[in-house]
Amino acid sequence: MPLPTQSRAVIIGGGIIGCSTAYHLAKLGWEVTLLERHKLTSGSTFHAAGLVGQLRSSANITQLLTESVKLYATLEAETGLATGWKQNGGLRLACNQERWTEVKRQATTARSFGLEMHLLSPREAQTLWPLMQIDDVVGAAFLPTDGQVNPSDITQSLAKGARMNGAAIFEDTTVTAIETTNGSTSAVITPHGRIACEAVIVCAGQWTRDLCATVGVNVPLVSVEHQYMITEAIPGILPTLPTLRDPDRLTYYKEEVGGLVMGGYEPNPIPWAESGIPENFNFSLLNANWDHFAPIMELALGRVPALQTAGVKTLLNGPESFTPDGNFILGEAPELRGLFIGAGFNAFGIASGGGAGKVLAEWVAGGAAPYDLWPVDIRRFGRNHQDINWVRTRTLEAYARHYTMAWPAEEFSSARPLRRSPLYDRLRQAGACFGEKLGFERPNWFTAPGETPQDIYTYARPNWFAAVAREHHATRNAAALFDQSSFAKFLVLGRDAEPALSWLCANDVSHPPGRLTYTQMLNAKGGIEADVTVARLSATEFYIVTGTGFATHDADWITRNIPAGLDAHLVDVTSAYAVLALMGPCARKILAPLTRDDITNAAFPFGTVRTLRIAGAPVRALRVTYVGELGWELHIPTEFAATVYDALMQSGAPHGLINAGYRAIETLRLEKGYRAWGPDIGPDHTPLEAGLAWAVKLKREIPFLGRDALQAQSTRPLTKRLCAFLVDDPEIILLGRETIYRNGERAGWLSSAGFGHTLGKPIGYGYIRNQAGVTNQFLQSGAYELEVATQRIPCHLQTTTFYDPAMNRIKA
C-alpha cells in the first residue's frame, strides 16, 4: 500500500501507546495513519514484563488505568488476536507498620475511587502466593481486578483493531521531520514521502524528546535502564498466580510459562543514551548487568527462596523513558498547535496503554482532555524542565523512589536549589525549611531556635506540626510574612485586553483600573481551567497572578482562548517580581510607617490594587488574601525585594511579625474555605458545584466562555457539591482521598484535608455526589463519616466557612 499524501491524523510510533491511540482515534471515525520506523513493538514495548496494576493516587488516573483493564478483557474477542490478558489480581505486601498504614490508606483510596481492594493477613496472602516467605510480612492488599498481559500480543491486537476501523499502519517508515505552518503542525516527512495532516501525535517512546525538540517542543523524559529476570519453570508456580509487588524489597513478580518474571527498582538507577539513542536500536536490549541486579536478587531471595535453585533463562535489561515526577506525559504541546504527545511511561506503559490511548484520542478529536488529566498533562512542566541534565538528575530520583514509601508532603531532594527568590539566603538564615515547586525553592516552615530545618516524614503527626501551628496563630493574631515570589505572573496587554479577558473570565473583570477580581476561567463545559487574580492596571493592561505550578498551563489556556482578531497579548513577567504577602490583623500597623501612601481601608479597600512606595521601592500592592486575614500581596521589582523584606521585618518585630511558609498557608486556607486548583477545583468541576457561584457574572449580560453550560446547569439540581468536613478527634490525621460516607453509603472522597489550628481539629473538603441531586436538604439530612486508613470516623458536614475573619470567630 503506498503512503498517503494526506491523513487527518498521523501517529508516530508503533509501540503500545501509538497502537492504542490509533485504535481509539479510528473508532472515533478519524482518518489515521500510524508510522513506525522499524516494526510494531520494536521500541520498549516488546520487552515489558506485562504487569497491569490500576491504583494511583489520583482518581482520574486510576480511572484511566481501569479503562485499560476493561479494554484488555474484551479486545481478544473483538480482534481475534490473543492478548495474554489474565485477571489474576495483584498482591501488594507491607513489611513494617508505616508501610501497613500506607497500604491501609491505599485501600481507603481504592474504596474512594470505586476500586475493589481487600486487606489480607500474611497467611491469607500466602494462600494466594504459596511460594513466598512471610516471616516479615505485616499484611497485604489484594486488588482482584489487576492482571497481566503479553505486551507484544496486546499491541498487535490493538493494531489489528485499529486497522479493522480503517487506520493505515506503515512499518519501516521513519518520520524524519515535522512540518509546521504558522505555529501549527501541517505535515510529516518520511523517506517515502510527505503526509499533510491536521494533527501529529507523537508516541515515539524514548525517541519523543529529540523528535519534538526539532520543532521547539520540550518533552522532559530520559532513558533509564530497567532489568528483570525470567526463570525456568518452578514447581508450585501456577498460571493463576496473582502479580506480586513487594515494595519494601523493591521488587515485583509475575507468572510466565510456569516460571517467574522478577524485576526491581534499584536505588541507584543507571541512565542510558545520555548522548543520544544509537541508530538502529530496534528490538534491542542492553547487556545484562548482574552486579547491579545483585542487591535486588538478594532481596528477592528473602521473599521467594525457590529462586535460589530456579534455572535462570535470562536477565533482561531494557531501556525505558522516565520522567521527573514519575508520571507519563499526555496532551497538546503548549509550544505548537496540533502536536500531541503520549510518551514517558515510567515502566507502566502497558498498564496505561489502553486508557492513555483512549483519552489521547479523545483529546485530539475533542480538542480538550475528556476529563481532568492534570497529573499527566504536558503543561505541568516549566522552565526548570528545559535543561536535560536537570531533568535526568530529578528523573533518577523519581525512579529510585518508585517503591519507597510515598510519604505525605514528601519533597524531592535532588537537583536543588535551582530557582531561588532574592530572599532565599535571608530566609535560610531565618530557619526556613524549603520545599520545591517547578524548581523554585519555597519556605514550607520555619524553625524556632534549637530546631533543625528538616522534614521527618511519617504518617503520624509530622515534626513540622508545631512550627506550622506557630505560624498559623501568628497570622490569625498578629502578622506573618510569606515569600510567594514563585507565583506565576502575567501581563495581558493590548487595545482589546478587556474584551479578551471578559470572554475568558467567569467573573466580571471590566472594572476601572485599580480593581482586583478573583475569577475562574472555564472551559465550554463550565469546568474550571484556571483560578486566578486579575488586577486591572490601566485601560489596556491587566496583571494576572496564578499558582506557581500553573505557569505553563494558564499561559497556554489564556493565549489559546483569546478570541481571534482581538488585540490582546500575554507576557510572562514571573521573574520580574518577588512577592511578599504580609498577612494578619497587624498588617496595616506594620506597613503604615514604611510608606507615605494612604493605606487606610477607605483609601485602599479590599479588592483593589495600588502602587505603594515602600522603603524606597515602587511596589504593586494587591489587597487580597488566601489565608483569610487583613493583608497585602506586595509585588516588588526583584532588585528591591531584599530592602522591602528587611524594612517589613524591622517594622513588624514589635507587632509579632514572623516568617511563615507554605504549610501554614495550607492550614489557613483550609479553615477559610479557599479552594485549591488541582485538588478541589479543576476542569471536572464547575463554579456552581464548587460553591463559587458568587464569583460568576451569570446575572450580568456579558458573554463568557462556559456561560452556556453554567446557565444550563443552574436550571437543574447539582449532582455534586463541594462541602467541608470537621472531625472532633484532634488526633485523626486527614491527608486527602479519605472516603466520605453519608448515612453509611459511599458519597465521595476528600479532595484536600489538613489540620485547622484555630479550630484545633482536622478538616477536609470533598464533593458529595448524588445523581438525584445534592440539595441543601439532602446535605443537611445526612449523617457523615470519613474512612481514614480503613477506619470509619464520625464527622460533621458544613456548607459555610469554618472561620470568618471579618467577625474574627470560628463558625464550626
User: Binding residues for ligand FAD, per CB under 6 A?
Assistant: 12-18, 35-38, 42-45, 47-51, 174-175, 203-205, 207, 211, 226, 228, 316, 318, 320, 343, 345, 347-351
Rounded to a whole number of angstroms, the minimum distance from the CB of residue 216 to ligand FAD is: 17
Please name the residues in contact with 481: beta carbons below 8 A apart, sequence gap of 6 or more: 580, 581, 582, 583, 645, 648, 649, 652, 657, 658, 659, 660
Q: C-alpha grid cell for residue 554?
A: 494558564
Q: Is the Cβ of residue 154 or residue 648 nearer to ligand FAD in the bound state?
A: 154
CA distance 627 to 695: 18
CA distance 510 to 442: 33
Q: In the bound complex, what is the minimum distance in angstroms from residue 41's beta carbon to ligand FAD?
A: 6
Question: Which grid cell sits at 575?
Answer: 521573574
Smaller CB separation from ligand FAD, 269 or 691 = 269
Grid coordinates representing 21 are: 491511540
At 396, which helix (H) or strand (E)?
helix 388-400
Number of H helices, E strands in the chain: 18, 40
* CB 683 to ligand FAD: min, Å: 24
CB of 44 to ligand FAD, least distance (A): 4
Of the pair 70, 613, the CB lying nearest ligand FAD is at: 70
Q: Which is nearer to ligand FAD, 253 or 434 (CB)?
A: 253
- The set of cell numbers assigned to 542 is 491587566
CA distance 358 to 85: 18
Cβ within 8 Å of residue 392, ≥6 positions away: 222, 271, 274
SS3 300: helix
Q: Considering beta carbons, is residue 195 or 535 the nearer one to ligand FAD?
A: 195
Please state, in angstroms and rounded to a whole number, the distance separating the CA atoms of residues 280 and 154: 24
Contacts for 715 with CB less than 8 Å, ≥ 6 apart: none
> Would you tell me the crossing angle of helices 151-164 and 349-366 to the nearest 10 degrees?
20
Q: Which is nearer to ligand FAD, 83 or 485 (CB)?
A: 83
How near is the Cβ of 360 to ligand FAD at its closest, in Å?
11
Smallest gap, in angstroms, from Cβ of residue 334 to ligand FAD? 21
* Nearer CB in complex with ligand FAD: 219/497: 219
Give min distance, CB of 347 to ligand FAD, in A: 4
Q: How many whole angstroms from its chain centre is CA 338?
A: 23
Pick the closer one to ligand FAD by CB: 226 or 697: 226
Q: Which cell numbers in the block locate residue 341?
A: 504527545
CB contact burial 38-68 (16+ within 10 A = b; e otherwise) = bebbbbbbbbbbbbbbbbbebbbbbbbbbbb
Minimum separation from the CB atom of position 279 to ligand FAD (A):
12
SS3 assignment, position 655: helix
What's the angle, vertex CA 360, arms to CA 357 and CA 361, rounded to 5? 85
396 vs 759, beta carbon nearer ligand FAD: 396
Q: In angstroms, give the least distance from the CB of 190 to ligand FAD.
A: 8
Residue 671 phi/psi, 5-degree rounding, is: -60, -40
Phi, psi of 335 (to 5 degrees): -85, -20
Instruction: Please check whether residue 145 is in contact with residue 69, taking contact to mean a CB–CB distance below 8 angstroms.
Output: yes
C-beta closer to ligand FAD: residue 45 or 66: 45
Q: How far is the CB of 154 from ligand FAD (least distance, A)?
A: 10
CB of 222 to ligand FAD, least distance (A): 13
Q: C-beta of 8: minimal distance to ligand FAD in Å?
A: 18
Rank residues 250 and 789 by Cβ distance to ligand FAD and give the closer one.
250
Dihedral sign for Cα atoms in the order 352, 353, 357, 358:
negative
Residue 57 or 801 having the CB closest to ligand FAD: 57
CB of 603 to ligand FAD, least distance (A): 59
Closest CB to ligand FAD among residues 352, 475: 352
Instruction: Report, in angstroms and rounded to the nearest whole number, the Rg of the chain calculated over CA atoms.
Output: 27
